């Protein structure tokens, strides 16, 4: 049997299952809802290709170019407001579509499960816009992309740093017609937890009837200083906003209770990557250049390759760009460089959610009001302080 990455290291990138000449590696859900490869030993011919393309087991060589960094804003306000940060992804994708290329990125299906899909026109780009905080199911994306690349068609692939590393590793050669975009990634939450949260939210908001649209990065309440909100819209016209700091799902995600185990020791972070661009929210731009922060979203962009540099030059007239240092780009965005670390009770929390008890997670975030005795003690110590200092 091949020796694949273990359960804590595997990122679920699908490179092993895509490369298998016998198609005997199936991606199956574990108890936490994350996909892992399962090898059918009866059909395995021991070619070990799956081990060779695993980006965790092999050493993915990052680009030799030292990345440059900039703050970017799309000049198209409607695109920008529809995007998580400054709308850089859409501007780049529009250029690839103009060159008769295809865009692969993450979209919701009708049940709000997250899957990678292929888009071939500007109107459908909106399906990809906006961060979806659940690990995306890649399906046969890598195989489809290879087919297109071999036909000399331009392809832009956008995904997590581990997904981009998986694709590059699976392809095993450089393609001039492939553009890869990864992002600053805090980690990927469990699809099972995401599904349970949607059910829970819908019960609270709308007697269990599922929403018709979800936008986890709504800018109706702003963007600057992390003011964005989660917006659930229902068939009856009801709109329910939860600020990113109040939403239970965001607290579980950002608090590292529900992310994939491999995210706690991510091999794919750092300034230099295997992609052509690394994009993210330019958190902290308000301190570096307040002119670039009008509360509508600003992207941080690391240009990782010569191909990337050339492309940025081709689309620069559609963007407002301000060059920054790598330190400025990362100073308020530690996820660019450092892995999140799973909370000690992560598995219990995921178990509780799987058992249909997500509401009980709310208790973990209740800030207890001080008791009567604590209040009296506080008053007394302040009084003693005043007496001691002769105030």
Ligand X SMILES: Cc1cc2nc3c(=O)[nH]c(=O)nc-3n(C[C@H](O)[C@H](O)[C@H](O)COP(=O)(O)OP(=O)(O)OC[C@H]3O[C@@H](n4cnc5c(N)ncnc54)[C@H](O)[C@@H]3O)c2cc1C
Q: Which residues bind ligand X (CB under 6 A)?
A: 83-90, 105-106, 114, 128-134, 136, 158-160, 183-186, 188, 279-281, 299, 333, 335
* CB nearer to ligand X: pick between 17 and 90: 90
Write out the two tokens for 250. 């965001």
CB of 54 within 8 A of CB of 4? yes
Residue nearer to ligand X on the CB measure, 39 or 252: 252
Measure the CA–CA gap between 224 and 271, rounded to whole angstroms.
Answer: 24
**Minimum CB separation from ligand X for residue 219, in Å?**
10
Minimum Å gap between C-beta 55 and ligand X is 15
Partners of 180 in the beta sheet? 157
In terms of CB distance, is 55 or 105 closer to ligand X?
105
Q: Which residue has the tokens 């690990």?
A: 135
- Closest distance between ligand X and the C-beta of residue 196, in Å? 17
Which residue, 49 or 231, is less far from ligand X as judged by CB? 231
Residue 236: enclosing H or E segment and its boundaries? none
Q: Helix, strand, coil % (nearest 5) of the chain? A: 40, 20, 45
**Residue with Cβ nearer ligand X (39 or 330):** 330
Angle between helix axes 141-150 and 161-171 (nearest 10 degrees) is: 50
What Rg, from alpha-carbon coordinates, does the chain have?
A: 23
Among 111, 356, 79, residue whose Cα is nearest residue 214 = 111
Query: Shortest gap between Cβ of 19 and ligand X (angstroms)?
Result: 21
DSSP state letter for 107: E
Gap between the Cα atoms of 73 and 273, Å rounded:
22
In the bound state with ligand X, the residue whose beta carbon lies nearer, of 49 and 94, is: 94
Nearest to 197 by CA among 34, 254, 129, 189: 189
**Closest residue to ligand X in the complex (CB):** 105
Positive or negative: CA dihedral 95, 100, 104, 107: positive
CB of 269: closest distance to ligand X in angstroms? 10
90 or 190: CB nearest ligand X: 90
Q: How far is the CB of 223 from ligand X (least distance, A)?
A: 10
At its nearest, how many Å lie between ligand X and the CB of residue 165?
A: 13
Q: Which is nearer to ligand X, 90 or 305 (CB)?
A: 90
Residue whose tokens read 């694949």: 4
Q: Is 139 exposed, middle or buried (0-12, 13-18, 19+ CB in 10 A)?
A: middle
Q: Minimum distance between the CB of residue 380 and ligand X, rounded to whole angstroms? A: 43
């Amino acid at each position: 049997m091949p020796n694949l990455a273990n359960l804590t290291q595997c990122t679920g990138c699908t490179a092993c299952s895509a490369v298998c000449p016998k198609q005997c590696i199936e991606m199956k859900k574990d108890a936490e809802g994350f996909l892992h490869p399962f090898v059918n030993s009866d059909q395995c011919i021991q070619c070990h290709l799956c081990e060779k393309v695993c980006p965790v087991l092999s050493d993915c060589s990052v680009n030799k170019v030292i990345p440059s960094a900039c703050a970017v804003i799309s000049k198209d306000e409607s695109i920008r407001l529809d995007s998580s940060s400054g709308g850089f992804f859409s501007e780049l994708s529009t250029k690839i579509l103009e060159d008769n290329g295809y865009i692969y990125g993450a979209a919701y299906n009708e049940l709000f499960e997250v899957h990678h899909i292929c888009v071939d026109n500007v109107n459908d780009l909106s399906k990809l816009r906006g961060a979806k905080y659940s690990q995306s199911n890649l399906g046969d994306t890598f195989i489809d992309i290879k087919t297109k690349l071999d036909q000399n068609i331009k392809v832009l692939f956008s995904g997590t740093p581990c997904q981009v590393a998986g694709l590059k590793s699976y392809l095993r050669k450089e393609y001039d017609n492939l553009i890869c975009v990864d992002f600053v990634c805090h980690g990927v939450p469990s699809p099972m937890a995401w599904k349970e949260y949607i059910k829970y939210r819908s019960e609270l908001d709308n007697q269990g009837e599922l929403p018709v649209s979800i936008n986890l990065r709504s800018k109706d309440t702003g963007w600057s200083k992390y003011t964005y909100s989660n917006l659930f819209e229902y068939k009856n016209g009801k709109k329910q906003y939860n600020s990113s700091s109040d939403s239970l799902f965001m607290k579980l995600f950002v608090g590292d209770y529900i992310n994939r185990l491999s995210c706690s020791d991510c091999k794919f972070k750092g300034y230099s990557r295997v992609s052509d661009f690394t994009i993210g929210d330019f958190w902290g731009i308000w301190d570096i250049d307040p002119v670039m922060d009008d509360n509508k979203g600003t992207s941080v962009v690391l240009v990782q390759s010569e191909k990337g540099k050339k492309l940025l030059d081709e689309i620069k007239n559609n963007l407002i760009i301000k060059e920054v240092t790598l330190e400025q780009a990362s100073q308020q965005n530690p996820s660019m460089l450092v892995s999140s670390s799973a909370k000690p009770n992560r598995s219990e929390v995921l178990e509780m959610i799987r058992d249909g008890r997500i509401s009980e997670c709310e208790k973990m975030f209740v800030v207890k009001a001080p008791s009567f005795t604590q209040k009296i003690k506080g008053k007394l110590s302040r009084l003693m302080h005043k007496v001691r200092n002769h105030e």
